[in-house]
Amino acid sequence: MMVDAEFMRRIASAAAAETLPRFRRLEAVENKLAGGFDPVTEADQEAERAIRALINAEFPDHGILGEEHGSENLGNSHVWVIDPIDGTRAFISGLPVWGTLVGLTVDGDAVAGLMSQPFTGELFYADGKGSHYQGPGGPRKLAVRKTTSLANATMFTTTPSLFKGEMRKRYDHLETQVQLARYGTDCYAFAMVAAGQVDIVVDPGLKPYDIVALIPIIEQAGGIVTTFEGGPAENGGDIIAAATPELHAAALKVLMG
């Protein structure tokens, strides 16, 4: 299914109208997790509300799964998956590496999506025919770089501390195999795979709204996104994105033993 680029831009603009005025001007952060820290802000909640309003007006028969305001009509074939601010920790720290994620699944498959970073003025989106960029430097079509060797690869993860027990040992071993390893940046790292700047992202424990929008952006730029078991990533879990099948296989061989 094709999704109109103009509708993508409308979603990005509606979300930015709620997030940008609150960025670096936070007055309140709520914690959603009793035994730890899972922050949510007014910007998260209001941005998702704005996105939902647009989708409901344009596609009233589509379902919606959102991080902040729950689900509606999930039994429908077309379901939009929303993370109004992916990288809330970066947002509340004043770092412009968070993004608004909105993806569309059809019968469970992610077919279109966007990642908007309004502070830097960037929009990454996949419309069903390809993966595209708008922002500084002008519009262009996105394409992964053709790295096939771990020794030449740049790899990101949110933080190695997310890997537990034996998996932490395997992650640490994988890190020794790549040319450059960096941490953080949440959805931005995945967008950089599509842009040809990063070769691998490995992130355990993702929710559907953390990854659905990014799957088509990477896949339609020529990359691959799966679980660590090699299955579909739409339902979240332990996720790997890679620029090439060869790199994907090499990284998984180290991670899974």
Residues 47, 82: Cα–Cα separation, whole Å: 10
Q: 28 pLDDT exceeds 60?
A: no
Residue among 203, 192, 201 at smallest CA distance from 161: 203
pLDDT score for 128: 94
Residues 239, 228: Cα–Cα separation, whole Å: 6
Q: What is the pTM of this model?
A: 0.94
pLDDT in tens, 221-233: 999 999 999 999 9
Binding residues: 67, 83, 85-86, 210
pLDDT in tens, 9-20: 999 999 999 999
Q: Count of CB atoms within 10 A of residue 243's CB?
A: 27
Q: 165 pLDDT exceeds 80?
A: yes
Helices 42-58 and 5-19: angle between axes, nearest 10 degrees: 150
DSSP state of 129: S
Q: What value does the mean pLDDT take over residues 94-103?
A: 96
Question: Which domains are seen in the chain, by residue range?
Answer: 5-140 (3.30.540.10), 150-256 (3.40.190.80)
Binding residues for Mg(2+): 67, 83, 85-86, 210
Residue among 221, 224, 217, 245 at smallest CA distance from 110: 217
Q: 34 pLDDT exceeds 60?
A: no
